[in-house]
Amino acid sequence: MRNFNFLKAGLGFYTALFITFLYAPFVVMGILSFQAGPEGGPQFPIIEWSTYWYQHVLGIAPPSRVAPLPIAEALTRSLTLAFATMVVSTVLGTLTAQAFRRHFKGSGFVFYLVVLGMMVPGVLLGLGMALVADQVGIARTWWGTAFVLHVVYTYPFAFLVMLAIFNRFDSSVEEAAWALGVPPGRTFRKITFPLIFPGVLSAMLFAFTLSYDEFPRTLFTGGSEVTMPIAIYGTFAVEIHPNLFAFGVLTTVFSFALLSVYGLLMAASVRRAKTKGIGVQEDIE
Amino acid sequence: MTDTDLELVRLRKIYPGGTVAVEAFDLEVKRGEFISFVGPSGCGKTTTLRMIAGLESITSGDLIIRGKNFTHVPTERRPTATIFQNYAIFPHMTVRQNIEFGLHVRNLSASEIKKRTDAIIDKLQLGDVVDAREGALSGGQKQRLSLARGLVTEPDILLLDEPLGALDANLRKSIQEELKILQRELNITFVFVTHAQSEALSMGDRVVVMNAGRVEQVSSPFELYTRPQSGFVARFIGRNKIIPGELADIDGNRASVTTPLGRFSGVPSFKAGSGTVGQKAMVVAPSEYIDIVPAAEPAGDAALDRARGTVTSVEPVGQVVYIGVELPGLVPMRIEAYRERIEGRGIVPGSAVELRWKPERATIVLGEA
């Protein structure tokens, strides 16, 4: 009994430590983002509480010696890229996982081939891609070469998520649909897809977030029109100001908002599957 | 031939690894017949059902439904409906949506769909739960929903894959009866797969016994029970007592076997000419036809076959008494007898007894026991 309590305390301490390391940087960043500006720097103590750096990020602060973050265009690029990557990777990942539900010749080899995309170090892949692109005369752009590498990188994640989903999927419902005379295409749309939808959401989330803050591959292949992570890195080289922290807080809040939407969608689809649907007669046409 | 619904012609299934799942299955099923497939797990009964449904490819042979060859037609274009052991209810749809699902792909008007759905909901008493989803349904309701969903498409043949396996014993009994009544009313051919011989025997007009991918026997339940055609069927179906020996004599409708207990005769299960004297054979008699009496008791009827042994145990269970009997040269047997036929007759452990039966009740089966 005593030993057990000891173990419990140990695990509790470990958990506390874990949470501290997870959130402490964010808390510090959050506090420092309210530093006075433009004279206040990225360190304690807080000279005076203000929202100056938030105004600076949003471009509504009076001009000063601190250059504004080049976010407007970079952010649009990053979001566009992340969205496109998400769509392509999730579709590819789902289709590949669907193919893997039956064993086929060489499936083991294909599996490792796909998963290689997330194993190969990003710097190597980025550099290699840049060299190849230069050799064959393809311009390096965020929507071309970088996009391809983003898909190569995130597609395995989407694939693995979907593989796990299909692993637990009871295929007798599909067989039941075919046996009722429903062709495979319609069966996929009306039966399979609604049931794997929570998994598809997870795959989308993975692909989006991984692409959104991807750095090494984009650095080498993104060309001169930079994405958000590269743009932020670029400003480090000069000097760090709390406007970065303000931006960090804003993106984190945005991410949490996105996660909440995901959580709500997930909960809704689980509830729909479980409970009675009285009054929610949706169309299955 | 017009009233033949289903025809299997040397149907075979070999898995890519080379495993033979079903070997040369021949069967003809009449329209409106209730046919049961029974056998131990892995015997190929479910594989056969899945080949008929189109969920498993057919390696060779032909599948003919109402005169048309469906061997290579995909599942969704076969005139069959399948009931799965786990019901396979679509969890994201209500009961009504589940039932309508198969109708939407048929060229039916909305009013026709509603009419058919309402009729089947009514027939299978699902009116109280039309808007419920799977999570809110009981086992029996799920069972009825899966039946409704299949039957509403008006299949020529309904395929049932161990549909009662997941139900508790009481429910199973009542659904067995419901199924049988439903089948008679609709006059649709039912192919019913089960591992439980009691289900197969009580529900089927005919029963197919399978073992290791082969069909052992296709008979009416009564014939299966009283006239097994192979050692496997003799052991798997009913409560047969088996005495192994060698075929001694065949004479038309009567054959005899030499056993360690003497020479016994019975009705041969094999065709005249297919057995040779001296080959391994066995005497099979249903337990119900065997009398156990004290050895000293005089035989009233000289025509009875008799085997002498020693009682090793007496175990009463309600109305029935299980008596362990040791017979020289054989593994010990357990004989059931009604309590009132035993009591006061001196059948106790250690006493000498005789087993007696009418030779015409026994069956002579070829092969090793």
A-side interface with B, Cβ within 8 Å?
A: 170, 172-173, 175-184, 186, 190-191, 194-195, 272-279, 281, 284-285
In chain A, which residues have their Cβ closer than 8 Å to the Cβ of B76? 178-184
| B221 near A CB under 8 A | no
- How many domains, in total, are found in chain B? 2
In chain B, which residues have their Cβ closer than 8 Å to the Cβ of A279? 131
pTM of the model: 0.80
Q: Same domain, yes or no, for B99 and B178? A: yes
**Residue A65 confidence (pLDDT):** 73
Would you kindly state where each structural domain of chain A is located, as residue ranges? 2-57, 71-237
**Residue B65 confidence (pLDDT):** 94
Inter-chain contact B106–A277, Cβ cutoff 8 Å? no
Q: Which residues contact B136 (CB under 8 A, 6 or more apart)?
A: A275, A276, B129
Q: Is A275 or A73 the better-scoring residue by pLDDT?
A: A73
Inter-chain contact B88–A176, Cβ cutoff 8 Å? yes
Span B81-100, pLDDT tens digits: 999 998 999 999 999 999 99
Report yes or no on B24 lying in a domain: yes
Report yes or no on B232 lying in a domain: no
Q: Same domain, yes or no, for B176 and B250? A: no
**pLDDT(A70) > 80:** no
**B135 to chain A: nearest residue by CA?**
A274
Q: How many beta-carbon pairs under 8 angstroms link A with B? A: 99
Domain that holds residue B263: 240-366
CA diameter of chain B: 80
**Residue B14 confidence (pLDDT):** 93
What CATH number has the domain bearing residue B328? Answer: 2.40.50.100
Question: Domain spanning A71-237: which CATH class is it, in words?
Answer: mainly alpha
Query: How many CB atoms are located within 10 Å of the residue A143 CB?
Result: 14
**pLDDT(A40) > 80:** no
Give the whole-angstrom CA distance, residue A178 versus residue A187: 7
Cβ atoms of A125 and A152 within 8 Å: the answer is yes
Q: Which residues contact A80 (CB under 8 A, 6 or more apart)?
A: A143
What CATH number has the domain bearing residue B49? Answer: 3.40.50.300
b/e code B98-118 from CB counts within 10 Å (16+ = b):
bbbbbbbbeeeeeeebeebbe
Inter-chain contact A181–B76, Cβ cutoff 8 Å? yes
Average pLDDT over chain A, rounded to an integer: 86
**Residue B45 confidence (pLDDT):** 93
Inter-chain contact A172–B86, Cβ cutoff 8 Å? yes
pLDDT grade for A285, boundaries at 50, 70 and 90:
very low
Q: Same domain, yes or no, for B180 and B296? A: no
Three-state secondary-structure class, residue B270: coil
Q: Is A149 or B1 the better-scoring residue by pLDDT?
A: A149
Cβ atoms of A75 and A264 within 8 Å: the answer is no
pLDDT grade for A280, boundaries at 50, 70 and 90:
very low
Q: How far is B96 from chain A (nearest CA, A)?
A: 10
Span A181-232, pLDDT tens digits: 999 999 999 999 999 998 999 999 999 989 998 999 999 988 888 888 888 8
Span A225-241, pLDDT tens digits: 888 888 888 877 777 78
The ranges of chain B with pLDDT < 70 are 1-2, 369
Q: Between B55, B81, B86, which is nearest A180 by CB?
A: B81
Give the whole-angstrom CA distance, residue B8 versus residue B26: 5
| B149 near A CB under 8 A | yes
Q: Same domain, yes or no, for B205 and B261? A: no
Q: What ipTM was reported for this prediction?
A: 0.83
Q: Same domain, yes or no, for B301 and B200? A: no
- Give the domain-ending residue among B226, B261, B287: B226
State what percent of residues in chain A have pLDDT above 90. 44
Q: How far is B35 from chain A (nearest CA, A)?
A: 20
**pLDDT(A170) > 80:** yes
Cβ atoms of B307 and B327 within 8 Å: the answer is yes
**pLDDT(A281) > 50:** no
